[in-house]
Amino acid sequence: MNKILVGTDTSAAADLAVQSAAELARTNDAELLVLHVRPDSAARDAVDPRKAADP
């Protein structure tokens, strides 16, 4: 089975992408996977050396 992965940030443009991917999945008998990643300030700070805590 084919799989289609679509990312979303819940914006209007992303909603259209999800709708298009869903239609593509239906017409191709594919599994639709939707990915949403929420920004996490702790993770962002961990890779920003200016915000890293002193050991």
Whether this model's pTM surpasses 0.75: no
What is the residue type of 25?
A
- Pairwise CA distance, residues 3 & 30, whole Å: 5
pLDDT > 60? residue 55:
no
- Pairwise CA distance, residues 35 & 23, whole Å: 17
Q: pLDDT tens-digit profile of 1-54?
A: 899 999 998 899 999 999 999 999 999 999 999 999 877 666 666 666 666 555
Alpha helix stretches (DSSP H) within 1-55: 12-27, 41-47
Amino acid 54: pLDDT: 57
